[in-house]
């Protein structure tokens, strides 16, 4: 176990101690204890920067299930390190923020921090694992720790609804991803990501390649809340705000992004991948930003904004994948998209984390998140306002913040799509820059709504639950740190360029040499003009928002994806209940019907398909007159059982059948069987008579068996099938009987002349032993049924 493994497992180990700390150190907020870990981890991962920026990787392995090729392999490269730093860095800030956000007396802090630590460990595992099965394990761990965190206030119905929704959707994707992983294993014979990437050229024409790609992509799309699976994210906003800031903006929703980036070297050489990733991304980008504008809840806006920004990163990764398509275009012309994706990933984590914390502060200090009730908070909360300005302007893509830089690069990449002469991009590709531009306008609009509707305008004190005032300093530290990062990255982007972005891009595109240089000023390029357009039209739209708000009402609620999801859920439940009720009627007649129909269909069709029915008369012995008489007699008796009116008659007729069978045994020279059959038949007839005697007098009607055509058909069918199988089996004796051995050895080996008895007690004595056990159990059962039924009532009465 190396230090790296320990780093991944340490949150899980730490989580064990959290409840003890919570219970025995009540005066200390548990968060302070938890805070130690992410800070230490952040420092530890920071020390890897010198290694990864030299384009080297660190790999450590401990074996877990070596016989299945599943090893806990940890690999640190540029991409993994970027995510690990985000997870631990923002993790530390979120824990610090939560110390002030959650009150130690009113909340179940032990639950909160255990879930949070589980999530942190799982997320580190996802980004650092090289083995796909280990990655999948941690992946599901993130799903259900997120489920626990969303449902943290489990007494609220909405929390439970959101938790269930996110669980169903992400686990659906996770399972499909597992399918994809298994398909990859079938193609390459390994679970190791590094080895799969090496084999890419060999598997690209494999017939499982496309299914594997689709399965894995489904996992990534659901986790990263891409259209149409984005619906869980807005409902996940019922979680405490630190959770929303951490999971649903900076880390978990980026797990899908990570997976797409990680898998790009494997899949991106196919056009389908580029189209799917970029296509879903651009739709999500537009739909997220379009929907964000109509929200009235601040966290709702941020949720849709996250969806849209994730779509943007996804688009960039898809377009960046196009660079892998042809080996001839290995220049930085197309790789700019990947660089932009990584850069925006970092930027989004910083400003979105800050914005969530700002919203949390507003909620905490005023008691509401509804923008219709908020307004005019600027004089009361100057620091929060400043942070909000920085965050939203960066999100909208305004200079001099970091969002401006990544948005410029995004536009650059989109414009270059037009020049791609591959993958049919030159025709439909025009849609990419157009949609991206429109989406950016909406992004601008909702960014302005967040900051100006909340902080400017008139204060409405009568609508607020509390008198607004500035948040405590501890709560402000984390958003201030993030906002400073937004500024710092905005002004000095190249500090990041060679240390973090370049290694990450190198990990996504292993064969490329990418020169990452982020410049503030490109000259008068189309992208700059696009940004001016965004600002101008965005400002206009923001000002006239009340006039065109009615647009959102055109789209009916009934067709929304949420409605679709709810309908699907209720209809599935209703449908399966209806199905169950219609099949499982509770009547054993119906079940017998199923059994027999199944019997007829399966055996009949097998006989028919295999053409198995044969009839061979060569080994049939001659028929004796006594057998004919007996057979006719037994048939008459058996058939008349069906038509007699009285039950007593049918019992006696059944006895007649039994005695005729014993006569058959006599004819076929089986004395032991005949003797036993006689005695047993007598006993069972006596027992039948006993049952008959005790039938209840009420409702006892002597009736003929009513005739039902289906029953008649089925019984005739079963009989016919059994006869056919018997005849066929008899006609095909595959090998000689083993009875010669018994005939020869009964006396020699076992000193008996009665072969039946010798077989029963000597050759096959074990069967007999268990048959007498069966008899004993039956006797005890009868004894227990009768005695305990009589005594059971008395005993309970006595007690």
Partner 1 sequence: MRKIDTNDMLLQVTTKITAFIILLFSLHLFLAGHNNPGGGFIGGLMSAGAVVLLLLAYDLKTVRRILPFNFIYVAATGLLVAILTGMGSFLFGAPFLSHAFDYFQLPFLGKTELATAVLFDIGVYLVVVGITMTIIQTIGEKE
Minimum distance of partner 1 from residue 596's CB (angstroms):
31
Question: Of 58-66, 250-258, 341-349, 778-786, which segment contacts partner 1 by CB under 8 A?
Answer: 778-786
Minimum distance of partner 1 from residue 671's CB (angstroms):
4
Tell me how many helices (H) and strands (E) the chain has: 36, 2
User: For every residue of 224-258, which 3-state class applies, written as one string?
Assistant: CCCCCHHHHHHHHHHCCHHHHHHHHHHCHHHHHHH
Region 150-209 residues binding partner 1, contact defined as CB under 8 A? none
Euclidean distance between CA atoms 456 and 623, whole angstroms: 108
Q: Please identify which residue in 519, 606, 754, 791 interacts with partner 1, judged by CB under 8 A.
A: 754
Per the CB < 8 A criterion, the answer to whether 275 and 420 are in contact is no
Q: Please identify which residue in 697, 738, 751, 798 interacts with partner 1, judged by CB under 8 A.
A: 751
Q: Please identify which residue in 16, 428, 569, 679 interacts with partner 1, judged by CB under 8 A.
A: 679
| 13 binding partner 1? (CB under 8 A) | no
Residue located via tokens 């193609």: 187
For partner 1, the closer of residues 683 and 713 by Cβ is 683
Per the CB < 8 A criterion, the answer to whether 319 and 417 are in contact is yes
Euclidean distance between CA atoms 796 and 86, whole angstroms: 66
Question: Of 135, 124, 120, which is closest to residue 73 (Cα–Cα)?
Answer: 135
Minimum distance of partner 1 from residue 690's CB (angstroms):
6
Q: Please identify which residue in 787, 788, 792, 793 interacts with partner 1, judged by CB under 8 A.
A: 787
Per the CB < 8 A criterion, the answer to whether 27 and 109 are in contact is no
For partner 1, the closer of residues 558 and 794 by Cβ is 794
Question: Of 288, 277, 262, 295, which is closest to residue 128 (Cα–Cα)?
Answer: 262
For partner 1, the closer of residues 35 and 758 by Cβ is 758
Q: Please identify which residue in 766, 794, 797, 799 interacts with partner 1, judged by CB under 8 A.
A: 766
Tokens linked to 335: 């790789």
Minimum distance of partner 1 from residue 675's CB (angstroms):
5
| 671 binding partner 1? (CB under 8 A) | yes
Judged by CB under 8 A, the number of residues near partner 1 is: 36
Main-chain dihedrals φ then ψ at residue 179, nearest 5 degrees: -60, -45
Per the CB < 8 A criterion, the answer to whether 644 and 650 are in contact is yes
Contacts 24+ apart (CB under 8 A), 146-150: 146/119, 146/170, 146/236, 146/247, 146/252, 148/111, 148/115, 148/118, 149/112, 149/115, 149/116, 149/119, 149/239, 149/240, 149/243, 149/247, 150/236, 150/238, 150/239, 150/243
For partner 1, the closer of residues 365 and 681 by Cβ is 681
| 788 binding partner 1? (CB under 8 A) | no
Minimum distance of partner 1 from residue 706's CB (angstroms):
31
Residue located via tokens 């501890």: 474
60 has which bridge partners? 74
Question: Of 182-190, 565-573, 574-582, 679-687, which segment contacts partner 1 by CB under 8 A?
Answer: 679-687
Minimum distance of partner 1 from residue 684's CB (angstroms):
11
Region 271-310 residues binding partner 1, contact defined as CB under 8 A? none
Q: Which residues of 485-508 are buried (b: 16+ CB within 10 A; e: fewer)?
A: bbbebbeebeebbebbbbbbbbbb
Q: Please identify which residue in 3, 434, 780, 788 interacts with partner 1, judged by CB under 8 A.
A: 780
Q: Please identify which residue in 421, 426, 672, 744 interacts with partner 1, judged by CB under 8 A.
A: 672
| 768 binding partner 1? (CB under 8 A) | yes
Virtual torsion, Cα 536, 542, 547, 553, nearest 10 deg: 110
| 793 binding partner 1? (CB under 8 A) | no
Per the CB < 8 A criterion, the answer to whether 42 and 85 are in contact is yes
| 491 binding partner 1? (CB under 8 A) | no
Q: Please identify which residue in 9, 182, 638, 760 interacts with partner 1, judged by CB under 8 A.
A: 760
Euclidean distance between CA atoms 126 and 251, whole angstroms: 11
Minimum distance of partner 1 from residue 795's CB (angstroms):
17
Region 711-750 residues binding partner 1, contact defined as CB under 8 A? 750
Question: Of 431-439, 469-477, 516-524, 765-773, which segment contacts partner 1 by CB under 8 A?
Answer: 765-773
| 761 binding partner 1? (CB under 8 A) | yes
Euclidean distance between CA atoms 766 and 492, whole angstroms: 86
Question: DSSP letter at 621?
Answer: P
| 757 binding partner 1? (CB under 8 A) | yes
Minimum distance of partner 1 from residue 642's CB (angstroms):
29
| 667 binding partner 1? (CB under 8 A) | no
Minimum distance of partner 1 from residue 680's CB (angstroms):
8
Question: Of 62-70, 72-80, 160-168, 769-777, which segment contacts partner 1 by CB under 8 A?
Answer: 769-777
Which distant-in-sequence residues (6+ apart) come within 8 Å of 107 by Cβ? none
For partner 1, the closer of residues 748 and 799 by Cβ is 748
Q: Please identify which residue in 778, 788, 792, 793 interacts with partner 1, judged by CB under 8 A.
A: 778
For partner 1, the closer of residues 386 and 684 by Cβ is 684
Which distant-in-sequence residues (6+ apart) come within 8 Å of 518 by Cβ? 339, 343, 405, 409, 493, 494, 497, 501
Q: How many CB atoms lie within 10 A of CB 544?
A: 10
For partner 1, the closer of residues 598 and 783 by Cβ is 783
Which distant-in-sequence residues (6+ apart) come within 8 Å of 407 by Cβ? 344, 397, 440, 531
Question: DSSP letter at 297?
Answer: B
| 783 binding partner 1? (CB under 8 A) | yes
Q: What is the distance of C-alpha 442 from the center of its chain?
A: 32
For partner 1, the closer of residues 61 and 757 by Cβ is 757
Minimum distance of partner 1 from residue 752's CB (angstroms):
4
Question: Of 618-626, 628-636, 648-656, 768-776, which segment contacts partner 1 by CB under 8 A?
Answer: 768-776
For partner 1, the closer of residues 765 and 793 by Cβ is 765
Question: Of 157-165, 369-377, 555-563, 786-794, which segment contacts partner 1 by CB under 8 A?
Answer: 786-794
| 695 binding partner 1? (CB under 8 A) | no
Minimum distance of partner 1 from residue 750's CB (angstroms):
7
Q: Please identify which residue in 6, 713, 775, 788 interacts with partner 1, judged by CB under 8 A.
A: 775
Question: Of 405, 438, 391, 433, which is closest to residue 541 (Cα–Cα)?
Answer: 438
Q: How far is CA 611 from CA 599, 607, 616, in A?
A: 17, 6, 15
DSSP letter string, 567-611 = HHHHHHHHHHHHHHHHH--S-HHHHHHHHHHHHHHHHHHHHHHTT
Question: Of 197-205, 560-568, 614-622, 767-775, which segment contacts partner 1 by CB under 8 A?
Answer: 767-775
| Site for partner 1, rule CB under 8 A | 671-672, 675-676, 679-680, 683, 687, 690, 750-754, 756-758, 760-762, 765-766, 768-769, 772-773, 775-776, 778-780, 782-783, 786-787, 790
């Amino acid at each position: 176990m190396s230090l790296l493994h320990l780093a991944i497992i340490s949150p899980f180990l730490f989580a064990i101690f959290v409840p003890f700390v919570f219970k025995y150190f009540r005066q200390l907020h548990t968060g302070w204890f938890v805070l130690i870990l992410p800070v230490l981890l952040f420092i530890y991962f920071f020390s890897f920067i010198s290694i990864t920026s030299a384009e080297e990787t660190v790999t450590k392995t401990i074996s877990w299930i070596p016989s299945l090729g599943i090893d806990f392999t940890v690999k640190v490269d540029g991409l993994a390190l970027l995510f690990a730093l985000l997870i631990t860095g923002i993790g530390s800030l979120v824990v610090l923020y939560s110390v002030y956000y959650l009150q130690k007396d009113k909340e179940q802090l032990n639950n909160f921090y255990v879930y949070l630590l589980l999530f942190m460990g799982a997320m580190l595992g996802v980004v650092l694992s090289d083995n796909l099965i280990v990655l999948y394990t941690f992946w599901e761990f993130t799903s259900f720790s997120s489920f626990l965190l969303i449902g943290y206030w489990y007494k609220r119905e909405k929390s439970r609804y959101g938790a269930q929704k996110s669980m169903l959707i992400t686990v659906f994707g996770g399972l499909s991803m597992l399918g994809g992983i298994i398909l990859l294993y079938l193609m390459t014979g390994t679970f190791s990501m590094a080895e799969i990437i090496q084999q890419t050229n060999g598997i690209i024409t494999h017939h499982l390649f496309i299914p594997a790609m689709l399965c894995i992509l489904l996992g990534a799309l659901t986790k990263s809340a891409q259209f149409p699976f984005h619906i869980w994210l807005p409902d996940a906003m019922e979680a405490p705000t630190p959770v929303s800031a951490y999971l649903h903006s900076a880390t978990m929703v980026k797990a899908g992004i990570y997976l797409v980036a990680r898998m790009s070297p494997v899949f991106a050489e196919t056009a389908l991948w580029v189209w799917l990733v970029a296509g879903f991304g651009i739709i999500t980008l537009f739909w997220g930003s379009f929907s964000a504008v109509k929200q009235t809840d601040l966290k709702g806006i941020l949720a849709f904004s996250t969806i849209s920004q994730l779509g943007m990163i996804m688009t960039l990764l898809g377009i960046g994948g196009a660079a892998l398509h042809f080996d001839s275009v290995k220049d930085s012309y197309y790789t700019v998209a990947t660089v932009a994706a990584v850069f925006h990933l970092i930027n989004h984590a910083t400003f979105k984390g800050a914005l969530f914390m700002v919203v949390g502060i507003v909620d905490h200090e005023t008691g509401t998140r509804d923008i219709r009730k908020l307004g005019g908070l600027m004089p009361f909360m100057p620091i929060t306002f400043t942070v909000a300005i920085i965050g939203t302007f960066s999100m909208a893509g305004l200079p001099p913040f970091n969002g401006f830089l990544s948005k410029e690069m995004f536009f650059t990449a989109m414009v270059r799509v037009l020049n791609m002469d591959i993958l049919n991009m030159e025709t439909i590709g025009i849609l990419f820059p157009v949609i991206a531009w429109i989406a950016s306008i909406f992004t601008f609009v909702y960014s302005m709504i967040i900051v100006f509707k909340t902080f400017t305008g008139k204060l409405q004190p009568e609508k607020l639950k509390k008198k607004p005032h500035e948040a405590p300093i501890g709560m402000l530290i984390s958003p201030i740190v993030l906002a400073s990062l937004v500024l710092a990255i905005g002004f000095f982007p190249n500090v990041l360029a060679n240390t973090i972005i370049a290694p990450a891009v190198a990990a996504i595109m292993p064969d490329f040499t990418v020169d990452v240089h982020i410049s503030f000023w490109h000259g008068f390029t189309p992208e700059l003009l696009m940004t001016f357009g965004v600002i101008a039209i965005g400002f206009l739209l923001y000002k006239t928002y009340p006039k065109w708000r009615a647009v959102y009402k055109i789209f009916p609620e009934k067709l929304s994806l949420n409605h679709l999801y709810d309908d699907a859920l209720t209809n599935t439940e209703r449908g399966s209940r209806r199905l169950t009720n219609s099949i499982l009627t509770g009547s054993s007649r119906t079940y017998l019907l199923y059994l027999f129909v199944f019997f007829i269909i399966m055996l009949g069709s097998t006989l028919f398909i295999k053409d198995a029915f044969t009839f061979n008369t060569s080994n049939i012995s001659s028929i004796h007159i006594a057998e004919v008489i007996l057979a006719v007699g037994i048939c008459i008796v058996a058939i008349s059982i069906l038509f007699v009116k009285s039950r007593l008659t049918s019992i006696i007729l059944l006895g007649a059948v039994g005695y005729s069978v014993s006569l058959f045994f006599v004819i076929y020279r089986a004395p032991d069987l005949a003797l036993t059959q006689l005695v047993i038949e007598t006993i069972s007839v006596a027992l039948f008579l006993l049952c008959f005697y005790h039938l209840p007098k009420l409702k006892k009607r002597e009736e003929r068996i009513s005739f039902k055509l289906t029953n008649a058909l089925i019984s005739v069918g079963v009989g016919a099938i059994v006869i056919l199988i018997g005849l066929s089996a008899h006609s095909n004796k595959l090998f000689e009987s083993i009875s010669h051995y018994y005939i020869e050895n009964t006396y020699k080996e076992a000193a008996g002349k009665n072969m039946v008895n010798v077989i029963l007690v000597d050759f096959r004595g074990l069967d007999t032993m268990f048959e007498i056990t069966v008899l004993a159990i039956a006797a005890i059962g009868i004894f227990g049924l009768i005695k305990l039924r009589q005594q059971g009532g008395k005993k309970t009465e006595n007690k």
